[in-house]
A and B are shown apart, each in its own frame.
Chain A
Amino acid sequence: MTVMSKNPAAAPAVQSGGKGAISIRNVTKIYDPGGVNVVAVDNCSLEIAPGEICMIVGPSGCGKTTLLNAIAGFHSITSGTIHLDGELLCGPDKPKAEQGADRIVVFQNGALFPWKTIRDNVAYGPIVQGRLSPVEARGKADHMLAEAGLHDVGDKYPGEVSSGMARRAEIVRALINDPRVLLLDEPYRAMDALTKSIMHEALLEMYDRTKVTIFFITHDLEESIFLGDRVVVMTTRPAQVKKIVDVRIPRPRNYKVLSSNEFRVLFAEAKDAVHEEAIKAFEAGERELA
Chain B
Amino acid sequence: MAVASPSRSTFGGFRSSLGGALTNPTFWRGIVALIGFALFWELCSRSKQMFGVQVPWIGMVPPPSDVLGAWAKVVTEPGYWQSWYLSLNRVLAGFIAAQIVGIPFGLALAVNRYFRDIFFPPFEILRPIPPLAWVPASLIFWPTNEMSIAFVTFLGAFFTVVINVLGGARTINVQYLRAAQSMGASQWDLFWKIILPGTMPSIFTGAAVGMGITWEVVVAAEMISGGGTRKGGGLGFFIWNSYMGGSLEQIVVGMISIGIAGYLCSSAIRYLGFAAMPWRRLF
Partner-contacting stretch, out of A76-84, A103-111, A209-217, A238-246: A103-111
Determine whether the beta carbon of B197 is less than 8 Å from that of A105. Answer: no
A47 to B268 alpha-carbon distance, docked (Å): 59
Is the C-beta of B226 less than 8 angstroms from some C-beta in chain A?
no
B150-190 vs A, Cβ < 8 Å mask (1 yes, 0 no):
00000000000000000000000101101111111110010
Partner-contacting stretch, out of B1-9, B22-30, B209-217: B1-9
A104 contact set on B, CB distance < 8 A: 182-183
A86-123 vs B, Cβ < 8 Å mask (1 yes, 0 no):
00000000000001110111010101011110000000
With most chain A CB atoms within 10 A of its CB, the pick from B173, B183, B186, B189 is B183
User: What distance in Å separates the Cβ of A11 from its nearest Cβ neighbour in chain B?
Assistant: 24
Is the C-beta of B20 less than 8 angstroms from some C-beta in chain A?
no
B278 contact set on A, CB distance < 8 A: 157
Q: Which residues A138-194 have CB closer than 8 A to chain B?
A: 152-153, 155-162, 165, 173, 177
Known contacts A101-B184, A155-B8; A114 and B279 CB within 8 A of each other: yes
Q: Which residue of A lies closest to B178 (CB)?
A: A74
Is the C-beta of A134 less than 8 angstroms from some C-beta in chain B?
no
Determine whether the beta carbon of A160 is less than 8 Å from that of B182. Answer: no
Contact of B183 among A101, A114, A156, A161 (CB under 8 A): A101
Q: Which residues B60-109 have CB closer than 8 A to chain A?
A: none
B6 contact set on A, CB distance < 8 A: 160
A155 contact set on B, CB distance < 8 A: 8
Is the C-beta of A129 less than 8 angstroms from some C-beta in chain B?
yes
Is the C-beta of B194 less than 8 angstroms from some C-beta in chain A?
yes
Is the C-beta of A290 less than 8 angstroms from some C-beta in chain B?
no
Determine whether the beta carbon of B182 is less than 8 Å from that of A105. Answer: yes
Determine whether the beta carbon of B181 is less than 8 Å from that of A99. Answer: yes
Determine whether the beta carbon of B189 is less than 8 Å from that of A157. Answer: no
Is the C-beta of B277 less than 8 angstroms from some C-beta in chain A?
yes
B182 contact set on A, CB distance < 8 A: 72-73, 99-101, 103-105
Is the C-beta of A124 less than 8 angstroms from some C-beta in chain B?
yes
A109 to B194 alpha-carbon distance, docked (Å): 17
User: What distance in Å separates the Cβ of A42 from its nearest Cβ neighbour in chain B?
Assistant: 25
B194 contact set on A, CB distance < 8 A: 113
Determine whether the beta carbon of B2 is less than 8 Å from that of A157. Answer: no
A73 to B184 alpha-carbon distance, docked (Å): 12
Is the C-beta of A125 less than 8 angstroms from some C-beta in chain B?
yes
Q: Which residue of B lies closest to A131 (CB)?
A: B184
Known contacts A111-B176, A160-B2, A165-B2; A100 and B184 CB within 8 A of each other: yes
User: What distance in Å separates the Cβ of A229 from its nearest Cβ neighbour in chain B?
Assistant: 24
User: What distance in Å separates the Cβ of A82 from its nearest Cβ neighbour in chain B?
Assistant: 15
Report how many residues on chain A are interfacial, defined by Cβ distance under 8 Å.
33
Is the C-beta of B200 less than 8 angstroms from some C-beta in chain A?
yes
Contact of A159 among B175, B186, B189, B279 (CB under 8 A): B279
A194 to B176 alpha-carbon distance, docked (Å): 28
Determine whether the beta carbon of B1 is less than 8 Å from that of A162. Answer: yes
Is the C-beta of A135 less than 8 angstroms from some C-beta in chain B?
no
B232 contact set on A, CB distance < 8 A: none
Determine whether the beta carbon of A124 is less than 8 Å from that of B175. Answer: no
User: What distance in Å separates the Cβ of A74 from its nearest Cβ neighbour in chain B?
Assistant: 6
Q: Which residues B11-54 have CB closer than 8 A to chain A?
A: none
A128 contact set on B, CB distance < 8 A: 180, 183-186, 189, 193
With most chain B CB atoms within 10 A of its CB, the pick from A109, A128, A173, A177 is A128
Q: Which residues B189-243 have CB closer than 8 A to chain A?
A: 189, 193-194, 197-198, 200
Contact of B5 among A99, A129, A156, A165 (CB under 8 A): A156
Determine whether the beta carbon of A125 is less than 8 Å from that of B176. Answer: no
Known contacts A128-B189, A157-B279, A162-B3; A111 and B183 CB within 8 A of each other: no
A73 contact set on B, CB distance < 8 A: 182
User: What distance in Å separates the Cβ of A156 from its nearest Cβ neighbour in chain B?
Assistant: 6
A72 contact set on B, CB distance < 8 A: 178, 182
A74 contact set on B, CB distance < 8 A: 178
Determine whether the beta carbon of A111 is less than 8 Å from that of B2. Answer: no
A125 to B181 alpha-carbon distance, docked (Å): 9
Q: Which residue of B lies closest to A106 (CB)?
A: B179
Q: Could you name 25 residue pairs across A and B whose Cβ atoms are closer than 8 Å?
A: A99-B181, A100-B184, A105-B182, A111-B173, A111-B176, A111-B178, A111-B179, A113-B180, A115-B197, A115-B198, A115-B200, A116-B279, A128-B180, A128-B183, A128-B186, A128-B193, A129-B183, A155-B8, A156-B2, A157-B279, A159-B279, A159-B280, A160-B6, A161-B2, A162-B3
Q: Which residues of B contact A (CB under 8 A)?
A: 1-3, 5-6, 8, 173, 175-176, 178-186, 189, 193-194, 197-198, 200, 277-280
Q: A101-B183, A115-B197, A159-B280 are in contact. List 15 more A-B contacts (CB 8 A).
A: A100-B184, A103-B182, A104-B182, A107-B175, A111-B176, A111-B179, A115-B200, A116-B197, A124-B180, A128-B180, A128-B183, A128-B193, A129-B183, A160-B2, A165-B2
